[in-house]
Amino acid sequence: MDSELIRRLAHVVGDDGLVLDEAAQAPYVEDWLRKWRGRTPVVVRPRNTTEVAAVMRLCRQSGTPVVPQGGNTGMSGGAAPDDSGAQVILSLNRMKRIREVDTVNNTITVDAGVLLADVQNAARDAGRHFPLSLGAEGSCTIGGNLATNAGGTAVLRYGNTRDLALGLEVVLPDGRVWSGLRGLRKDNTGYDLRGLFIGSEGTLGIITGAVLKLYPRPQGRVTAWVGAESCDAVVSLLTRLQARCGERLTAFEMMSAYCVGLVSRHVSGAACPLAGEHACHALIELSDAAPEGLAELLEQSLAGPLEEGLIADAAIAANESQAKAMWRLREGISQAQVRAGKAVKHDIALPISRLSAFIKEADAAVAREFPGLPIVNFGHVGDGNLHYNVLLPLDVPHEEYVHLTAGLNRCVHDLVVQRGGSISAEHGVGQLRRDELRRYKSTVEMDLMLMIKRALDPDQLMNPGKLL
Ligand code: FAD
Ligand code: MLT
Ligand code: ZN
């Protein structure tokens, strides 16, 4: 990259807004999974929207591709530069202003670089609740959550990030700023521009600010861990609880016995709260702004399935620390997989009514075609979203990993799409699913997305090689 551009970038963001040193660039050029590693001439860290716009104008004038980055916790390789050394990383990690909290309109307006955990805390400090919750909340940013339309463990009750955003501020590839930071629940004035940028994974523009919905703070929550003899039983339990508890059911996570064993072995302090072996487990949580009768409701809702034998055992957390221990067991799966081996990950979504049949077919297909490989099956089953992963040994040779990944992806994703499912429920497409997308999306869908991409980013500078 020519020194003139570096000088101009420094003029915009200040010298401490540039990361030129290769060692200092390390956390930016490799993803959390250590699956994608690239090179960059410079990481640019603007302090505000005006600086982002000025950086974008400079990159456009010089034809320099830009990779937007938040917390770099994405699981699809969307925030990693390629190995050309030509792509600038534009990190939002200096844009951390909480611009406004409006407890009457129940909205919070934040910079894109604000950590999800900090938005949750700001909401709590204002006596409200911002429900988006995922294992990476301590390091992922709101901009990344919006760009990937992140899901997490509260989608069942509150929806995914798309459902939680009312307004956006976006710097376009030509450097103009779209100021759409309106906190309106109704605004029918043309195309859904907000919807276009949410989930666009940095390929259409840079999200620099957002207006997010706030909810009444849950005044009470009750958490339970359940053991059952099949995934079928767990899915049936979900249906029963939804019917009985309605909106008070705010989380329903499923995991196989293998997952629970993996976490118990690889995450210190994590232990299953139930005695005995159960083929399938679930973490269930009720919460409400009006907490009266919550614990009784959960007890009564589990009593029937226990008596009928739909579930084999259940433990209700007696206090906050027991509830936290249950969540640690669930949230520990990502980490446990990384320590135990090389996971071939799938982030699939299906209609809930088809989950059980899929699991049976996929288990049989993987056992038949890839004998001996453990299946790490868990996820947000309340949203029809499974992380149906297959674990390869830590020392699996790279070529074998690539070969097995291609075969397993084809096996699992063909089964998913045949059942009307999606090959990427919440992690996005990034680099990971880009080539498979063409196999599973219709020509019309691909054409529509390419038309939008060409219209907004005609110079193809935004996050090249990702998504499309
Ligand atoms: P990054 O990884 O920095 O970027 C992700 C994508 O968004 C890239 O394509 C990037 O170019 C783009 N981008 C980032 N910021 C902007 C911006 N301001 N404007 C435009 N584009 C931008 N995800 C889930 O959905 N559900 C989960 O339950 C979940 N659990 C996780 C658990 C762990 C332990 C980890 C490590 C990750 C998990 N994730 C989960 C994945 C990840 O945390 C999410 O995808 C998150 O939304 C990424 O946010 P980020 O700020 O790290 O984005
Ligand atoms: C989760 O639900 O834990 C995440 O999506 C991360 C993962 O798939 O490992
Ligand atoms: Zn997930």
Q: What domains are defined for the chain?
A: 3-91 (3.30.43.10), 98-216 (3.30.465.10), 220-337 (3.30.70.2190), 341-450 (3.30.70.2740)
Cβ 430 under 6 angstroms from ligand 1: yes
Statement: residue 325 has pLDDT above 80:
yes
Residue pair 190/218 in contact (Cβ under 8 Å)? The answer is no
Centre of ligand 2 to C-alpha 138, Å, is 14
2 confidence band (pLDDT: 50, 70, 90): confident
123 confidence band (pLDDT: 50, 70, 90): very high
Q: Ligand 2: which atom is nearest the Cα of residue 343? A: 9
Q: How far is residue 118's CA from residue 74's CA, in Å, rounded to a whole number?
A: 18
Segment 383-395 shows an average pLDDT of: 97
Q: Ligand 1: which atom is nearest the Cα of residue 335? A: 34
Segment 325-340 shows an average pLDDT of: 95
35 confidence band (pLDDT: 50, 70, 90): very high
- Which letter does DSSP use for residue 20 in this model? -
Max CA pair span of the chain: 74
State what percent of residues in the chain have pLDDT above 90: 98
State what percent of residues in the chain have pLDDT above 70: 100
Using DSSP's 3-state secondary structure scheme, residue 240 falls into helix
Segment 437-463 shows an average pLDDT of: 97
Segment 198-227 shows an average pLDDT of: 97
State the CB neighbour count (10 A cutoff) for residue 178. 16
Q: Which of 134, 375, 389 to mutate to test the pocket of ligand 2 (most atoms within 8 A of CB)?
A: 134
Statement: residue 136 has pLDDT above 80:
yes
Segment 450-460 shows an average pLDDT of: 98
Mean pLDDT of the chain, nearest integer: 97
Residue pair 152/427 in contact (Cβ under 8 Å)? The answer is no
Segment 356-370 shows an average pLDDT of: 97
How does pLDDT run across 60-101, given as a tens digit for each residue?
999 999 999 999 999 999 999 999 999 999 999 999 999 999
Name the residue at shortest CA distance from atom 9 of ligand 2: 334
HSE (side-chain half, CA atoms, 13 Å) at 456:
23
Q: Which of 51, 75, 89, 255 to mutate to test the pocket of ligand 1 (most atoms within 8 A of CB)?
A: 75
269 confidence band (pLDDT: 50, 70, 90): confident
Using DSSP's 3-state secondary structure scheme, residue 392 falls into strand
381 confidence band (pLDDT: 50, 70, 90): very high
At residue 3, the pLDDT reads 87
